[in-house]
């Protein structure tokens, strides 16, 4: 059985209490990695602090070259990394799956390498010169989730490196292997201590949030854990980027032609078996087209192959862990008990693996858990509305706001309605599409701060004003 090392100060750590990682498609053992204790975390933070002065002082062009070298390495190891992602997380190789995730990691790395933060000159005259300059925030703690494990790790570590920070990372316990392997590759081109990675339970994450040697935490995961991270981080006034859960609404405007949008609508809801922070999680449909949409969505879902992600025909894999499948099924059962109609799926399968059928639930009301909470799985509640104002109000009546979408034949009208949604990204006639140059982040309890592009890069810096009198 392969052991995936932790990396501290450039050294591969292969011993300690071992964490077993299982394939959610058949529950077979994929690999093991050591877990870190508090002492190893301290060593990782100390190594990152030691590496910080030299890394942050490196000329810009050299850091850019290192990032591009990392992108090359991710591309050279694409097949290995994509296979590992499927084995530990479950998403298929094909479709919007592991090949997209590993390819996206390389692409995001290159785009991040190409960003820069030039000095802004506010005043430059006979009386003086004032500039706004960006300094690396310091040691960054990166805590990542299990749904897009390697891609999200990339979103954290690459801007940190680009800005001149050093990093201590902790991946999710059910999907640490692809991230560990990526960090191992990164360590072949970076000086020791610049990027360190430890694995372990949420307790290690909590220690990171409170650790006095870490200057900033970037966290992607659930809103509840994000709240705990923020509470821990404030004790030492750490900077924070939190990318938390969402409960994205999609609204189909009255009179929309359904067939041309059906494929995008389906993938907006069911991408990565619904385990995506900005997936469409509540679908609002005008009463005049309600039955048509429910039927067409269920018919579409019935044709999508669900299975082991290593099978090239598979387009949707299992859920990543049993706990998540239990949550999804309990939400579907709650809806059923409150009078909803389960049009497709909704039955817990027998056998190995954490599969859940693609589930379309009709007759949903806003009091059902499937509508109120983030299901994070392949079960979409379809909700009928009478007026567009009512749909917008119901879409906004939650405490989270990551994404949202409006669908319609008239793009101007759809866009007018889309910007009324209280969320960080609003899509028109699509849901969930990301672009490394389009900032991504949530409003309300979906997070603090933003990722991607220059605004995302700035989150890994502090401002220093240089004010010179002449
Ligand atoms: P968590 O938010 O608990 O886990 C995310 C990361 O935080 C993991 O690395 C986890 O480690 C770590 N962690 C756990 N507890 C702490 C803590 N106290 N302090 C610091 N770090 C901690 O997600 P869950 O796995 O529990 O998922 C539950 C729900 O979260 C899902 O149902 C879904 O709604 C949402 N979610 C949202 C994601 C998103 O992209 N927005 C991603 C994943 C989940 P460990 O794995 O070792 O517990």
Mean pLDDT across 242-268: 98
The 10s digit of each residue's pLDDT in 437-458 is: 999 999 999 999 999 999 999 9
Bridge partner list, 463: 134
Sheet (strand 120-125) strand order? 120-125, 128-136, 461-469
Q: What pLDDT shows up at residue 194?
A: 99
Residue 362 DSSP SS3: strand
| Catalytic, out of 33, 269, 277, 364 | 277
d(CA 263, CA 431): 11
The band of 1, judged by pLDDT with boundaries at 50, 70 and 90, is confident
- What's the gap in Å between 429 CA and the centre of ligand 1? 30
To the query of whether residue 184 is one of the catalytic residues in this protein, the response is no
d(CA 28, CA 318): 13
The model carries a pTM of 0.98
Q: What pLDDT shows up at residue 172?
A: 98
Could you tell me the domains of the chain? 6-244+446-469 (3.40.605.10), 248-436 (3.40.309.10)
Which residues does 328 contact at the CB level (< 8 Å), separation at least 6? Answer: 274, 319, 356, 359, 375, 376, 377, 378, 379
The 10s digit of each residue's pLDDT in 305-353 is: 999 999 999 999 999 999 999 999 999 999 999 999 999 999 999 999 9
d(CA 106, CA 390): 42
d(CA 98, CA 175): 13
- What's the gap in Å between 352 CA and the centre of ligand 1? 24
Q: Whose CA is nearest to atom 9 of ligand 1?
A: 172
Q: How many CA atoms lie within 13 A of 33 on its CB side?
A: 29
The band of 39, judged by pLDDT with boundaries at 50, 70 and 90, is very high
Cα–Cα separations (whole angstroms), residue 122 to 133, 319, 458, 462, 466: 11, 52, 18, 17, 10
Mean pLDDT across 368-377: 98
Q: Is the CB of 459 under 6 A from ligand 1?
A: no
Pocket test of ligand 1: the residue of 153, 225, 244, 329 to mutate, having most ligand atoms within 8 Å of its CB, is 225
Q: What pLDDT shows up at residue 101?
A: 98
Mean pLDDT across 294-299: 98
Closest atom of ligand 1 to CA, residue 246: 41
Residue 355 DSSP SS3: coil
d(CA 212, CA 339): 51
d(CA 96, CA 266): 12
Q: What pLDDT shows up at residue 168?
A: 99
- What's the gap in Å between 274 CA and the centre of ligand 1? 16
Mean pLDDT across 215-234: 97
Mean pLDDT across 289-304: 98
Share of the chain above pLDDT 70, in %: 100
- What's the gap in Å between 31 CA and the centre of ligand 1? 21
Which residues does 437 contact at the CB level (< 8 Å), separation at least 6? Answer: 111, 452, 453
Q: Is the CB of 145 under 6 A from ligand 1?
A: yes
Cβ count within 10 A of residue 232: 18
Whether residue 396 has pLDDT greater than 90: yes
Q: What pLDDT shows up at residue 391?
A: 98
Q: Is the CB of 277 under 6 A from ligand 1?
A: yes
Closest atom of ligand 1 to CA, residue 276: 40
Q: What pLDDT shows up at residue 321?
A: 97
Residue 356 DSSP SS3: coil
To the query of whether residue 174 is one of the catalytic residues in this protein, the response is no
Q: Is the CB of 147 under 6 A from ligand 1?
A: yes
Q: Are 159 and 440 in contact (CB under 8 A)?
A: no
Closest atom of ligand 1 to CA, residue 327: 32
Residues 406-429, buried b or exposed e (16+ Cβ, 10 A)?
Answer: bbbeeeeebeebbebbbbbbbbbb
Q: Tell me what the pLDDT averaged over the chain comes to.
A: 98
Backbone Cα Rg of the chain: 23
The 10s digit of each residue's pLDDT in 57-116 is: 999 999 999 999 999 999 999 999 999 999 999 999 999 999 999 999 999 999 999 999
- What's the gap in Å between 242 CA and the centre of ligand 1? 12
Torsion, CA 234, CA 197, CA 70, CA 11, rounded to 10? 140
Cα–Cα separations (whole angstroms), residue 43 to 49, 84, 193: 10, 28, 10
């Amino acid at each position: 059985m392969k052991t995936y090392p932790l990396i501290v100060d450039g050294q591969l750590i292969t011993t300690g209490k071992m964490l077993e990682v299982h394939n959610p498609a058949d529950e077979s053992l994929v690999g093991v990695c050591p877990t870190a204790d508090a002492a190893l975390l301290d060593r990782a933070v100390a190594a990152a602090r030691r590496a910080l002065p030299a890394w942050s002082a490196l000329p810009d062009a050299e850091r850019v070259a290192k990032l591009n070298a990392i992108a090359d390495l991710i591309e050279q190891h694409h097949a290995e990394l994509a296979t590992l992602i499927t084995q530990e997380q479950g998403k298929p190789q094909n479709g919007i799956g592991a090949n997209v995730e590993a390819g996206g990691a390389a692409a995001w790395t290159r785009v991040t390498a190409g960003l820069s933060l030039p000095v802004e000159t506010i005043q430059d005259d006979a009386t003086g010169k004032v500039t706004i300059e960006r300094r690396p925030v310091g040691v960054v703690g990166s805590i990542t989730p299990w749904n897009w494990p390697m891609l999200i790790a990339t979103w954290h570590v690459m801007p940190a490196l680009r800005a001149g920070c050093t990093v201590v990372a902790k991946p999710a316990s059910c999907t640490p292997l692809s991230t560990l392997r990526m960090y191992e590759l990164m360590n072949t081109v970076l000086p020791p201590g610049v990027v360190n990675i430890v694995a372990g339970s949420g307790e290690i994450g909590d220690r990171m949030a409170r650790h006095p040697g870490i200057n900033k935490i970037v966290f992607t995961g659930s809103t509840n854990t994000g709240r705990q991270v923020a509470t821990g981080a404030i004790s030492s006034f750490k900077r924070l980027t939190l990318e938390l859960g969402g409960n994205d609404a999609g609204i189909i405007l009255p009179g929309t032609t359904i067939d041309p949008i059906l494929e995008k609508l389906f993938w907006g809801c069911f991408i990565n078996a619904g385990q995506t922070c900005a997936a469409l999680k509540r679908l609002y449909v005008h009463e005049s087209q309600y039955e048509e949409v429910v039927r067409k969505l269920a018919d579409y879902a019935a044709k999508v192959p669900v299975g082991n992600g290593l099978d090239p025909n598979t387009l949707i894999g299992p859920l990543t862990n049993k706990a998540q499948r239990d949550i999804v099924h309990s939400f579907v059962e709650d809806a059923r008990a409150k009078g909803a109609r389960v049009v497709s799926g909704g039955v817990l399968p027998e056998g190995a693996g954490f599969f859940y059928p693609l589930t379309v639930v009709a007759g949903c009301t806003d009091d059902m858990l499937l509508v109120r909470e983030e299901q994070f799985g392949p079960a979409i509640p379809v909700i009928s509305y009478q007026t567009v104002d009512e749909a917008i109000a119901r879409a906004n009546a939650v405490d989270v706001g990551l994404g949202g979408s409006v669908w319609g034949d008239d793009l101007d009208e759809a866009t007018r309605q889309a910007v009324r949604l209280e969320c960080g990204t609003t899509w028109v006639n699509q849901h969930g599409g990301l672009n490394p140059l389009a900032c991504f982040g949530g409003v309300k309890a979906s997070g603090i701060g933003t990722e991607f592009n220059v605004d995302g890069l700035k989150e890994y810096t502090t401002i220093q004003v240089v004010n010179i009198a002449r």
